[in-house]
């Protein structure tokens, strides 16, 4: 059965480029990003892992730990990491899981048989500190991810978790947010002292609370 939003992310033990890990222990109380790659030594994946490494400080600022997966071996990963560091001008600073038996890929429904019987698609999961899945994005193998969008979604999810707000279409950090419908209009001033606008009874906005 495939995973859905709100499900608990399956735990696992795995060998990685940085040693053996328990997934839950690795995450601790952090948010997590788990993302898969079709294979080692592939061009699009090389740029993605390089981009992830370059965003180390951005992920750390959001209390996010990242971990990648490929169905190739850990030894293969280590050689590939040398190429990533050389071609992308980075130092890969997060573990890459070796999933040769595809157990983790199957647990996370990362193999889509109509795309490939063996390679993982570009699945990405954002996992909250309580280990529930908050976002799933699946790209085809030919399309690299937009990491600014991933950071934007993390910001949105963390705002919702901490402040009872949602984010509108094309929202960016620092822009107004939407007050969730569960909050009564008369209760908004006490909860959001920066002010608010009532566009419609069901559409109320307020400045981003943590800015």
Distance CA 142, CA 121 (A): 9
- Mean pLDDT for the stretch of residues 83-108: 93
Q: Is residue 115's pLDDT more than 70?
A: no
pLDDT of residue 119: 56
pLDDT of residue 211: 85
Contacts (Cβ under 8 Å, ≥6 apart) of 64? 30, 31, 32, 33, 154
Please list the residue range(s) of the chain that carry CATH number 3.40.30.10.
13-144
pLDDT of residue 112: 54
Cβ count near 132 (within 10 Å): 12
Digit-coded pLDDT (tens) for 119-130: 555 789 999 999
Q: How confident is the model at residue 141 (pLDDT cuts 50, 70, 90)?
A: confident
- Mean pLDDT for the stretch of residues 187-206: 96
129 close to 121: Cβ distance less than 8 angstroms: no
Digit-coded pLDDT (tens) for 11-64: 999 999 999 999 999 999 999 999 988 889 999 999 999 999 999 999 999 999
| Separation of first and last alpha carbons in the chain | 41
CATH among 2.60.220.10, 3.30.1020.10, 3.40.50.12280, 3.90.550.10 for 164-206: 3.30.1020.10
Cβ count near 184 (within 10 Å): 9
Q: How confident is the model at residue 117 (pLDDT cuts 50, 70, 90)?
A: very low
Among residues 14, 45, 81, 151, the one annotated as catalytic is 45
- Mean pLDDT for the stretch of residues 133-147: 90
Distance CA 167, CA 177 (A): 5
CATH annotation of 13-144: 3.40.30.10
Please list the residue range(s) of the chain that carry CATH number 3.30.1020.10.
164-206
In the residue annotation, 45 being an active-site residue is answered as yes
Distance CA 68, CA 64 (A): 13
């Amino acid at each position: 059965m495939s995973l859905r939003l709100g499900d608990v992310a399956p735990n696992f033990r795995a060998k990685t480029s940085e040693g053996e890990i328990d997934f839950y222990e690795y995450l601790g109380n952090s948010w997590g990003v788990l993302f898969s790659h079709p294979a080692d030594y592939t061009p699009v994946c090389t740029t993605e892992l390089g981009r992830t490494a370059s965003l180390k400080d951005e992920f750390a600022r959001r209390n996010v730990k990242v971990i990648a997966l490929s169905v190739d071996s850990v030894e293969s990963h280590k050689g590939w990491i040398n190429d990533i560091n050389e071609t992308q001008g980075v130092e890969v600073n997060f573990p890459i899981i070796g999933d040769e038996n595809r157990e983790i890929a199957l647990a996370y429904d990362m193999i889509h048989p109509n795309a490939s019987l063996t390679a993982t698609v570009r699945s990405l999961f954002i996992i909250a500190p309580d280990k529930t899945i908050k976002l799933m994005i699946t790209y085809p193998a030919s399309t690299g991810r937009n990491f600014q969008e991933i950071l934007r979604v993390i910001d949105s999810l963390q705002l919702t978790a901490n402040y009872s707000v949602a984010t509108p279409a094309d929202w960016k950090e620092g822009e107004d947010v939407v007050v969730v419908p569960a909050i009564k209009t008369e209760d908004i001033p006490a909860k959001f002292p920066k002010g608010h606008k009532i566009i419609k009874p069901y559409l109320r906005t307020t400045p981003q609370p943590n800015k």
